[in-house]
Structure 1
Amino acid sequence: MSAPILELREYRPTDSTDTHDFHQVVIGLSGRMSISLDGDATQSGRVGARNGVVIPAGVRHDYRGDGPNRQVVLDVPSHLATMTGTERAFSYEAFFALDAKLLALVQQVSARVDDGCPLSADDPVVCEWLAALMARLAPARPALRSVRLDLARIDARLQAELATPLDTATLAQEAGMSVRHFHDCFVAMTGETPHRHLMRLRLARAASLLTNSDATLADIALDVGFNDQSALTHAFRRHFHQTPAIWRREHTGGGVTASVN
């Protein structure tokens, strides 16, 4: 590879492993992908629409798409990073949160592709995006390197107590961090806030219970931490774009629809 490659990719929902001789940055546009760096549990995260990951040359990464996803991927030859003085941006593997400028520029890059324009390193929008990306990564390397959360443990804690959901302050205390630092690290490693992540877990559990049990919607609401059936219905419709009753009918053949009314 003699020049940077910038393109949109979708990662398949199969476990894959790769190691390459160039640096790579992956930034989420839509959907999610899971990725583990160098087999380190504390360097396992998810790339979504609010974060990205730096993968230096030679770093093994295990990854898989979590359903439909769309990612902006930048491949940078190692020698080019050295020549341009940007090698500091690729000194360590790390997840990072997108700032407002990068979020806006990523959307512009995506819009160019949707309009049928090929991605080119000479495109003014692409050049501005690359400059903003390098500015975001290079000065922040020491801070980014300190992002270490055991997401598997956090998920297990949340899943075990969905009926009485843990708050961010409790999770931060258990991680030995301030609430602000925990929040920032969580967004950097998952692309979503702790609150949004918890809501997604609660709704996923609700959907599973609707499909695999004949519990009433009121009971399911309490089981996953909602105050009442109305609150669950509102959140469920907003997330899945259909009511719990329709979800249950479509996923069970209509056999237990009456229990959610």
Structure 2
Amino acid sequence: MSSAIRQIPLDTATHHHAHDYHQIVIGLRGQAEFEIEGLGGSISALSGCIVPANHMHYYAGTGDNHQLILDLPGQAPALTGFHHELAKLFEAPRFFTLDEPLKRYLDFLLLELSASPNHASAQNDRLAATLLGCLHARLAEADASTYQRLDLPRLDRFIAHHLSSRLSVGDLAREACLSEAHFRHCFRAQTGLSPWQYVRRKRLEATRRLLVESPLPLSEIADLTGYATQSALSHAFRAAFGHAPSQYRKLHQLGTLSVTDT
């Protein structure tokens, strides 16, 4: 399958879904809000986000907005063969800002699209691969900054205190008194996980504990663990543990489920 590139405004009402292809969203005008399985952030002109495949995400535009969206199937030429390293971009959700050279390339890409409204899929893949390659190089360089050890117990307390809120990597970086790029690098080096993966694990651990130790309905557990809706929590829980939350609770109460960390 080939890449698809489109330009659309986002509805100002909040919507959510997950899809089996990766996605890059870049703001062209106005602003939009995204939450990708608990990682929240804003997109304005010339900033964007990475949405990995099969990740539930909530989104809404603000006022007059316009977004460039790249839909990237896992087997697209822009992510396979010579470009296979670019698939690493989609290991976890992420927000980013375009630097000056990437802004210039974005101008070129938009001119190419407007010059050929019915552009061939092969050209889409070439345009997408160049954008992804440049973005991958910049994010990898930002992650390669000097490592310093983080105070994980302090971060754990911060996460636990704010678990019911929308947490961004920027929030965690500020708590650690580091730039976001430096924090990402240090966090992965120390834990082997991205900050998003770590917070997601904490949310799911709290969910599992509440299912076993409390009679709270799933809607309240979703509120307490930072999921926007009960369906978002169910989607994440099933993906992590192979059971719906209600099934997990029932099986555990019957003593027939062996619990192991993931």
Q: TM-score, normalised by structure 2?
A: 0.51
Give how far 1:184 is off: 9.5
Larger radius of gyration: 1
Alignment of 1:68 onto 2:64: yes
Residue identity in the other structure for 1:149? G
Match of 1:245 in 2: none
Preserved CA contact (<8 Å) 2:3 2:128: no
Q: Which residue of 2 aligns with 1:44?
A: 40
Could you tell me how far 1:109 is from its partner in structure 2?
2.6
CA RMSD, 1 decimal: 3.4
Determine if contact 2:142/2:182 at 8 Å carries over to the other structure.
Answer: no
- Secondary structure of residue in 2 paired with 1:69: strand
The residue aligned with 2:170 is: 149
Instruction: Tell me the amino acid that sits aligned with residue 93 of structure 1.
Output: P
Report the CA distance shift for 1:30/1:128 in structure 2 as closer, same or farther (over 3 A): same
Match of 2:20 in 1: 21
Q: Provide the C-alpha distance between the structure 2 equivalents of 1:45 and 1:17, rounded to a whole number of angstroms.
A: 15
Asked if the contact 2:36–2:93 (Cα under 8 Å) also holds between the matched residues in 1, the reply is yes
Q: 2:142–2:181: 8 Å Cα contact kept in structure 1?
A: no
1:88 partnered with 2:109: no
Matched position secondary structure for 2:7: strand
* Mapping for residues 75-154 of structure 1, pairs under 5 Å: 75-80=71-76, 81-83=79-81, 84-85=83-84, 86-114=86-114, 117-123=117-123, 127-128=126-127, 130-137=129-136, 140=139, 148-150=169-171
Over 3 Å counting, the alpha-carbon distance change for 1:44 and 1:32 in structure 2 is same
Superposed displacement of residue 129, structure 1: 5.7
Q: Equivalents in 2 of 1:47, 1:121: separation in Å?
A: 27
Q: Give the Cα–Cα distance (whole angstroms) in 2 for the partners of residues 82 and 114 of structure 1.
A: 27
Assess, with a 3 A threshold, how the Cα gap between structure 1 residues 119 and 92 changes in structure 2: closer, same or farther: farther
Q: Distance in 1 between matches of 2:11 and 2:87?
A: 30
Tell me the secondary structure at the aligned position of residue 149 of structure 1. Answer: helix
Q: CA deviation at 1:89?
A: 1.8
Q: How does 1:157-168 map to 2 (within 5 A)?
A: none
Q: Which residue matches 1:56?
A: 52
**Residue segments in structure 2 that go unaligned for 5+ positions in a row:** 144-167, 184-262
Matched-pair identity in %: 23
C-alpha distance in 1 between matches for 2:97 and 2:128: 15
How much does 1:148 deviate? 0.7
Match of 1:9 in 2: 8
Which deviates more from structure 2 when the two are superposed, residues 71-80 or residues 108-117? 108-117
* CA displacement at 1:119 relative to structure 2: 4.7
How many Å separate the matches in 2 of 1:108 and 1:5? 17
Q: Which whole-Å CA distance do the structure 2 matches of 1:110 and 1:184 have between them?
A: 32
Count of aligned residue pairs for this structure pair: 157
User: Residue 13 of structure 2: SS of its match in structure 1?
Assistant: coil
